[in-house]
Amino acid sequence: MKMASARPSPAMLVAVIAMAFAIVGTAFAANDGVIYPKLTKSKVKKIAQKQAKKQLKANVKNSHVNLADKATTADSATNADSATNAEQLGGIPAADYRMAYAEISNTGTIKPDPPNANVNQVTNPQTGLYCIDLAFTPAFGSGNGTGASVNGTVAMVDIPATNCGASLPGADASVYVSNAAGTSVNEDFTVLFGAGA
């Protein structure tokens, strides 16, 4: 029997050389022959600051921020010193606008605790009807239930007063109070009235 020769075949030699170049070749290819200095943390920081300053100068130079230090018309507004009609609303003096408000108990008593103004007298001549005398003749009015009244209480204001008759001659408004079912009831309510000249 013939022994294999200890010498590698030419194909094996080419394969080994190719393998060596394949393994080490990328390391040689990456180096372009120039030796670069080592980048340290302080060098990176200096480069970053230099680039940031360059960007800020380029971007802020053309901005309008420099003009914001003082706006020429902001020191005084030409019409802010006085309103031409501040003492009147629609030509009517402010003193001619009147308000009245109160919280009324289910018996027709003006409750003393909440703020009340310009409500002179209240009567309760029948279930669900309250007649109110004010310090002025109202142009509008609004009513509502209170926290003490039953849920769904409705207080509807009627101007001029209706159905008051002798219970309060000269009453300025009537308030009709009902529950959620529409039945007349005596319940606590609030009222608000207003008038202009």
The answer to whether residue 88 is domain-embedded is: no
Residue 89 lies in a domain: no
Instruction: Write out the chain's pLDDT in tens, 197 residues.
Output: 566 666 767 777 677 777 776 776 655 555 555 555 676 777 777 777 787 777 777 666 656 555 555 555 555 555 555 566 667 777 778 777 889 999 999 999 999 877 899 999 999 999 999 999 999 999 999 999 888 777 788 999 999 999 998 999 999 999 999 998 999 999 999 999 999 76
Can you tell me whether residue 43 is helix, strand or coil? helix
Question: What counts of helices (H) and strands (E) characterise the chain?
Answer: 2, 9
140-145 and 189-195 beta bridge pairing? antiparallel
Q: Report if residue 113 sits inside a domain.
A: yes
Query: 170 near 164, Cβ under 8 Å?
Result: no
In a domain, 86, yes or no: no
- What range does the domain containing 186 cover? 96-195
Q: Is the peptide bond before 160 cis (omega within 30 degrees of 0)?
A: yes
Q: How many CB atoms lie within 10 A of CB 54?
A: 10
- pTM (two decimals): 0.55
**Domain tally, the chain:** 1
Kindly state whether residue 36 falls inside one of the protein's structural domains.
no
Question: Contact at 8 Å (CB) between 101 and 157?
Answer: no
Q: Does 112 map to a domain?
A: yes
